């Protein structure tokens, strides 16, 4: 072998022995020092161009930066993306991870601060030009700024990350939340356990929003498994775990989590808001599981606590939950009073969207009083607001309530249409259990119309959905309902009748012969 080739191979072997990134290291060693520095710097952002490179290395002139961009673009690991360049993900990860080593961290923080400023200015300029914060380009710049702010200062970066995450969740743009979470994970190596727990908490909330229960549970358990997490954070996480159990109708497990959370909160002033929420959660879950006395105690206490804290939002929730409880005890008058109080508080705080839930409940109360028109009007009011909010699960629930009004008025085609809409909406939010119940109701309507075929297929769909959410008993019951009922008398009745007739005939004959 050529002597120089041998030399090259030795170098390659030496670097390969060091593990991952050998080929990138080899390339960097062959490059001119300044060019190698530029390549390393360009691995901090996800994409680079002349202005980003100049921001990373302010000592470079425009022309120098342009020349380096041209040189770098010729490398196999750099791809051109529209008007910018991107380093292939694997080598970029290697170079980015190197920046996170303690020896380079100070330089990295400085470069990240410069990028934060760069994207901040760019965002402001784009906002001015498009007069909006909502354009694709501005949003991308805002994400980039958050990413580099995290590199410049963890605390400020986290605050921005949490702000953006909350905003996107409120807008129900879960894909955007996922993107933000993916971006911050690039810093995993330098995050302390507490910071990792904060990310896990947001991952849990996102998974719960998407009804991915096991992923949500796993993320929340990661939070709880972190020793550094504050008591307040533990209280919040236990409550969230309770909420996902509650959403799955696992009442006992939900109550256990809420109780644990309440015990941990233990009247701590920093947990006061959580304590009110936990009373509300416990009251609602006890109510839904049929333990109405406990439910009333917790809900009343939540109202008192909210009053003391002058928390109008919680007061509205407390009265709404109490109204639902009174509906269950058939105390319609008190229920309507409670719902109206709740509405009053919601109007005071200007929360239009939560009014939708209360209108729905008022609709149920009017239904109980057989006020069909009032009930329908309230359900429609609720539906309209829920549509505006993009609350698919809420719309589905209200539609199933509206079906009761239609059935009471014998408006069967309307009932069928509403149930079909509800089933689609429940399927969209992956609520299999509710979708199954809707399908079963639909099947029963078809059966009452003597449409055996549609009834049977709807029962089958209901059974499959119950099966999917492990409600085997209900699945079995749905399957049994699907079977056409046998007409006629049971065999033992027929035997009894035959025997009776035979005895009567024999007795008659015996009497006839006797006489």
- Three-state DSSP string of 449-468: CCCHHHHHHHHHHHHHHHHH
Q: Considering just the CA atoms, what is the radius of gyration of the chain in Å?
A: 33
The whole-angstrom separation of Cα 368 and Cα 362 is 10
Closest CA to 40 of 119, 103, 120, 116: 103
Kindly identify the residues of this chain, within the stretch 408-427, that bind another protein according to CB under 8 A: none
- Name which position in 171, 263, 347, 373 contacts another protein (CB under 8 A): 171
Q: Strand pairing partners for 223?
A: none
Residue closer to another protein (CB basis): 7 or 228? 7
- Name which position in 237, 302, 395, 458 contacts another protein (CB under 8 A): 395
Q: Is 18 in the site for another protein (CB under 8 A)?
A: no
Q: Is 67 in the site for another protein (CB under 8 A)?
A: no
Cα torsion through 237, 316, 321, 366, rounded to 10: -150
Cα torsion through 478, 480, 484, 487, rounded to 10: -140
Site size for another protein (CB under 8 A)? 64
Residue closer to another protein (CB basis): 219 or 264? 219
Residue closer to another protein (CB basis): 16 or 368? 16
Residues, the chain: 515
Kindly identify the residues of this chain, within the stretch 186-225, that bind another protein according to CB under 8 A: 210
Q: Is 88 in the site for another protein (CB under 8 A)?
A: yes
What's the closest the beta carbon of residue 24 comes to another protein, in angstroms? 6
Residue closer to another protein (CB basis): 305 or 396? 396
Residue closer to another protein (CB basis): 59 or 128? 128
With the C-alpha atoms ordered 499, 501, 504, 508, is the resulting torsion angle positive or negative? negative
Q: Is 14 in the site for another protein (CB under 8 A)?
A: no
Residue closer to another protein (CB basis): 173 or 291? 173
Residue closer to another protein (CB basis): 81 or 333? 81
Q: Strand pairing partners for 86?
A: 79
Is there a contact between 314 and 280 (Cβ–Cβ < 8 Å)? yes
Q: Is 100 in the site for another protein (CB under 8 A)?
A: no
Q: Is 27 in the site for another protein (CB under 8 A)?
A: yes
Q: Is 31 in the site for another protein (CB under 8 A)?
A: yes
Q: Is 468 in the site for another protein (CB under 8 A)?
A: no
What's the burial of 52, exposed, middle or buried (CB within 10 Å: 0-12/13-18/19+)? buried
With the C-alpha atoms ordered 238, 243, 249, 251, is the resulting torsion angle positive or negative? positive
- Name which position in 40, 44, 46, 240 contacts another protein (CB under 8 A): 46
Residue 310 Rama label (left phi>0; alpha psi -120 to 50; beta): left
- Name which position in 62, 70, 90, 155 contacts another protein (CB under 8 A): 90
Closest CA to 82 of 140, 128, 133, 28: 140
Is there a contact between 321 and 296 (Cβ–Cβ < 8 Å)? no
- Name which position in 387, 444, 468, 479 contacts another protein (CB under 8 A): 387
Is there a contact between 259 and 240 (Cβ–Cβ < 8 Å)? no
Q: Is 51 in the site for another protein (CB under 8 A)?
A: no
Residue closer to another protein (CB basis): 103 or 136? 136
Binding part of the chain for another protein, among 9-17, 109-117, 265-273, 459-467 by CB under 8 A, reads: 9-17
- Cα dist. 116→121, 137, 139, 458 in Å? 9, 16, 14, 56
Residue closer to another protein (CB basis): 384 or 460? 384
Q: Residues 6 or more apart from 496 whose CB is under 8 A from it?
A: none
- Name which position in 63, 136, 170, 453 contacts another protein (CB under 8 A): 136
Q: Is 375 in the site for another protein (CB under 8 A)?
A: no
Residue closer to another protein (CB basis): 5 or 267? 5
Q: Is 352 in the site for another protein (CB under 8 A)?
A: no
The whole-angstrom separation of Cα 60 and Cα 63 is 8
Q: Is 63 in the site for another protein (CB under 8 A)?
A: no
Q: Residues 6 or more apart from 107 whose CB is under 8 A from it?
A: 99
Q: Is 343 in the site for another protein (CB under 8 A)?
A: no
- Cα dist. 448→410, 441, 443 in Å? 12, 11, 9
Binding part of the chain for another protein, among 106-114, 134-142, 156-164, 470-478 by CB under 8 A, reads: 134-142
Kindly identify the residues of this chain, within the stretch 256-295, that bind another protein according to CB under 8 A: none
What's the closest the beta carbon of residue 384 comes to another protein, in angstroms? 7
- Cα dist. 216→70, 171, 209 in Å? 46, 20, 9
Q: 470 by DSSP, 3-state: which?
A: coil
Q: Residue 78: which H helix or E strand, with range?
A: strand 78-81
What's the closest the beta carbon of residue 167 comes to another protein, in angstroms? 10
- Name which position in 189, 428, 449, 510 contacts another protein (CB under 8 A): 428
Residue 61 Rama label (left phi>0; alpha psi -120 to 50; beta): beta
Q: Is 176 in the site for another protein (CB under 8 A)?
A: yes
Binding part of the chain for another protein, among 28-36, 305-313, 340-348, 351-359 by CB under 8 A, reads: 28-36
The whole-angstrom separation of Cα 327 and Cα 340 is 14
Binding part of the chain for another protein, among 172-180, 326-334, 347-355, 495-503 by CB under 8 A, reads: 172-180
Q: Is 453 in the site for another protein (CB under 8 A)?
A: no
Interaction site with another protein (CB under 8 A):
1-2, 4-5, 8-9, 12-13, 16, 23-24, 26-27, 29-31, 46-47, 74-81, 86, 88-91, 129-137, 139-140, 143-144, 171-176, 178-179, 182-183, 210, 384, 387-392, 395, 428
């Amino acid at each position: 072998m050529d002597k120089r080739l041998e030399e090259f191979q030795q170098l390659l072997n030496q670097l390969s022995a060091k593990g991952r990134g050998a080929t990138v290291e080899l390339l960097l060693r062959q490059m001119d020092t300044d060019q190698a520095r530029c390549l390393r710097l360009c691995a901090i952002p996800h994409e680079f161009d002349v202005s980003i490179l100049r921001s990373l290395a302010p000592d470079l002139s425009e022309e120098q930066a342009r020349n380096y961009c041209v040189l770098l673009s010729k490398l196999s690991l750099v791809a051109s993306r529209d008007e910018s360049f991107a380093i292939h993900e694997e080598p970029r990860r290697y170079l980015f991870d190197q920046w996170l080593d303690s020896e380079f961290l100070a330089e990295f923080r400085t470069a990240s601060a410069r990028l934060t400023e760069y994207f901040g200015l760019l965002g402001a300029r784009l906002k001015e030009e498009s007069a909006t914060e909502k354009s694709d380009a501005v949003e991308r710049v805002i994400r980039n700024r958050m990413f580099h702010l995290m590199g410049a200062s963890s605390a400020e970066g986290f605050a921005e990350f949490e702000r953006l995450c909350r905003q996107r969740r409120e807008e129900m743009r879960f894909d955007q939340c996922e993107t933000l979470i993916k971006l911050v994970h690039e810093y995993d190596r330098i995050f302390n356990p507490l910071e990792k727990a904060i990310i896990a908490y947001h991952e849990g909330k996102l998974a719960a929003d998407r009804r991915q229960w096991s992923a949500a549970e796993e993320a929340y358990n990661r939070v709880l498994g972190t020793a550094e997490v504050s008591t307040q954070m533990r209280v919040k996480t236990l409550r969230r775990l309770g909420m996902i159990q509650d959403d799955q109708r696992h009442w006992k497990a939900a109550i256990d989590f809420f109780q644990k959370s309440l015990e941990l909160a233990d009247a701590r002033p920093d947990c006061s808001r959580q304590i009110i929420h936990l009373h509300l959660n416990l009251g609602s879950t006890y109510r839904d599981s049929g333990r109405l006395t406990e439910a009333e105690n917790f809900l009343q206490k939540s109202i008192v606590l909210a009053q003391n804290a002058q928390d109008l939002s919680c007061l509205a929730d407390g009265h709404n939950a109490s109204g639902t409880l009174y509906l269950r005890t058939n105390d319609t008058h008190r229920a309507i009073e409670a719902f109206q109080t709740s509405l009053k508080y919601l109007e005071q705080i200007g929360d239009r969207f939560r009014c939708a839930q209360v209108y729905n409940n008022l609709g149920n109360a009017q239904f109980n009083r057989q006020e069909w028109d009032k009930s329908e009007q309230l359900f429609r009011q609720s539906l309209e607001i829920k549509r505006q909010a993009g609350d698919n699960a809420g719309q589905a629930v209200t539609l199933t309530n509206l079906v009761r009004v239609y059935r009471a008025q014998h408006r069967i085609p309307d009932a069928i249409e509403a149930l079909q809409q509800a089933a689609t909406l429940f399927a969209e939010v992956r609520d299999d259990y509710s979708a199954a119940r809707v399908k079963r109701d639909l099947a029963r309507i078809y059966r009452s119309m003597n449409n055996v075929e549609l009834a049977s297929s709807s029962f089958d769909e209901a059974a499959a959905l119950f099966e999917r959410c492990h409600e085997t008993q209900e699945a079995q019951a749905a399957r049994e309902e699907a079977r056409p009922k046998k007409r006629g008398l049971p065999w033992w009745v027929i035997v009894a009748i035959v025997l009776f007739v035979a005895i009567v005939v024999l007795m008659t004959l015996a009497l006839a012969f006797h006489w």
